[in-house]
């Protein structure tokens, strides 16, 4: 596996090299069959990748205590991710530190269980943009596979979503799994086992996009109140990498933009609507704060948000309008005329927001 990655890196552009080093989760092939049991055979050989998550702040619950807790319990969090595959299934193992074991209750409606989820697009590959990381969008739905701790064990759910606050429909039988809390180390382990092929999607590709979410029951987190990662990519063993898709996914990872110039531009051009970094004069609610963009957004998403904001309109009151033909348009003006170097500079600056100094470098660990 190391050799494969080295080989790919030898041929890669600087952006691809950086992307492969920081955004890719290597999946380990095992003979299988993968059973939905927490002690997955071969797990200790699967490389662990640490994925940072930031609290989702654009769409909030109508629950002040929960919203205040999300600000306090805050940012960032880390999931340790390992993945294995056999002929039929993909197993994702998520581990994270949580001081308290919280389990949802069927009888007490104000007790919320700790939970974690993965999100996968239905369609991906060269020429297709990634769905909005907050549960997809109207043009690009996602499948959300979730494990939540309940009174006696855990509950698995699979949903199809097309944006925060959109109605979700359940799909049954698409995920199996389990959860276990280790009181000695204060760590959760959650396992999700997904079929590689369903009627709606096929994961047998070299690069498969995936994003992660995590809920802390102690902070009354549920629904949209959660922590979210940016899109990462599973490197599936034995499947070829599409060079065009790799080039698209790695756009901007070379960090070519001038961060200082980017900050100047954001502070002058964008700060009327957005709060970002130390520039906080925009009225609350006019536009989403850009404070966690470095943890939640890919460079390509940021570029698109600047030059073509209506491609994906972040859901929020007054942030977009629906035209007669049904298309949604953002109230943000497109900055399509900005010189490419300025767009690169803004993207490079936004990529620093929310990223703590210690995790700004690639954080990878091998077992
Ligand atoms: C007139 C107000 C306004 C201005 C000026 C503006 N924006 Fe926006 N922006 C918005 C609104 C409203 C949204 C949410 C709807 C959407 O997704 O387009 C948004 C969304 C975004 C997003 C997506 C945020 C997310 O949570 O995913 C980014 C990134 C962004 N803007 C960057 C910029 C940058 C960079 C500039 C300056 C070059 C800028 N904006 C200027 C109003 C504005």
pLDDT of residue 318: 87
Q: Which of 273, 284, 321, 343 to mutate to test the pocket of ligand 1 (most atoms within 8 A of CB)?
A: 273
Ligand 1 mean position to 61 CA, how many Å?
A: 22
pLDDT of residue 363: 44
In angstroms, rounded to a whole number, what is the distance separating the alpha carbons of residues 340 and 346?
10
**Per residue of the chain (367 residues), what is the pLDDT tens digit?**
455 555 555 578 999 999 999 999 999 999 978 888 888 888 999 999 999 998 877 666 666 776 676 666 656 789 999 999 999 999 999 999 999 999 988 777 788 899 999 999 999 999 999 999 988 888 888 999 999 999 989 998 888 888 766 666 777 667 888 999 999 999 999 999 999 998 888 999 999 999 999 999 888 777 778 889 999 999 999 999 999 999 999 999 998 899 999 999 999 999 999 999 999 999 988 999 999 899 999 999 999 999 999 988 888 888 889 888 878 899 999 999 999 999 999 999 999 998 876 544 444 333 3
* Tokens describing residue 24: 């890719």
Q: Which of 136, 270, 308, 317 to mutate to test the pocket of ligand 1 (most atoms within 8 A of CB)?
A: 270
pLDDT of residue 221: 79
For Cα atoms 356, 304, 27, give the angle at the middle one, nearest 5 degrees.
60
Q: Is the CB of 119 under 6 A from ligand 1?
A: no
pLDDT of residue 282: 94
Nearest-CA residue for ligand 1 atom 27 is 314
339, 331, 264, 271: which is closest to 303 by C-alpha?
339
Taking the CA of residue 313 as reference, the ligand 1 atom at the shortest distance is 17
pLDDT of residue 74: 58
Taking the CA of residue 269 as reference, the ligand 1 atom at the shortest distance is 37
* Tokens describing residue 357: 């100094």
In angstroms, rounded to a whole number, what is the distance separating the alpha carbons of residues 175 and 192?
6
pLDDT of residue 264: 98
In angstroms, rounded to a whole number, what is the distance separating the alpha carbons of residues 299 and 352?
11
Q: List CB contacts of 49: < 8 A, sequence separation 6 or more.
A: 24, 25, 26, 80, 81, 82, 232, 364, 365
Ligand 1 mean position to 313 CA, how many Å?
A: 9
Ligand 1 mean position to 330 CA, how many Å?
A: 8
């Amino acid at each position: 596996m190391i050799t494969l990655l080295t080989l790919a890196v030898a041929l890669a552009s600087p952006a691809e090299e950086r992307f492969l080093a920081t955004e890719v989760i290597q999946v380990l092939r095992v003979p299988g069959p993968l059973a939905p049991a927490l002690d997955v055979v071969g797990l200790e050989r699967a490389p662990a990748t640490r994925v940072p998550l930031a609290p989702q702040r654009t769409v909030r619950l109508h629950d002040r205590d929960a919203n205040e807790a999300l600000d306090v319990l805050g940012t960032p969090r880390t999931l340790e991710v390992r993945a294995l595959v056999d002929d039929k299934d993909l197993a994702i193992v998520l581990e994270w530190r949580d001081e308290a074991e919280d389990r949802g209750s069927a009888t007490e409606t104000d007790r919320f269980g700790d939970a974690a989820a993965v999100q996968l697009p239905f369609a991906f590959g060269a020429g297709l943009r990634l769905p909005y990381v907050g549960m997809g969008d109207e043009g690009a739905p996602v499948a959300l596979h979730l494990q939540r701790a309940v009174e006696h064990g855990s509950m698995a759910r699979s949903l199809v979503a097309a944006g925060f606050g959109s109605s979700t429909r359940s799909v049954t039988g698409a995920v199996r799994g389990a959860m276990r809390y280790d009181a000695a180390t204060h760590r959760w382990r959650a396992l999700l086992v997904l079929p590689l092929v369903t009627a709606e999607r096929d994961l047998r590709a070299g690069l498969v996009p995936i994003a992660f979410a995590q809920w802390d029951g102690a902070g009354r987190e549920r629904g949209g109140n959660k922590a979210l990662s940016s899109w990462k990519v599973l490197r599936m063993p034995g499947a070829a990498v599409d060079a065009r898709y790799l080039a698209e996914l790695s756009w901007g990872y070379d960090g070519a933009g001038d961060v200082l110039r980017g900050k100047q531009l954001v502070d002058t051009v964008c700060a009327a609507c957005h709060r970002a970094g130390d520039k906080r004069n925009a009225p609350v609610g006019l536009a989403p704060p850009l404070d966690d963009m470095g943890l939640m957004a890919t460079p390509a998403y940021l570029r698109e948000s600047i030059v073509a904001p209506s491609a994906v309109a972040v859901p929020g009151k007054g942030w977009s309008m629906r035209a007669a033909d049904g298309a949604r348009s953002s109230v943000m003006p497109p900055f399509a005329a900005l010189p490419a170097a300025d767009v690169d500079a803004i993207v490079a600056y936004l990529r620093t927001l929310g990223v703590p100094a210690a995790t700004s470098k690639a954080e990878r660990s091998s077992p």
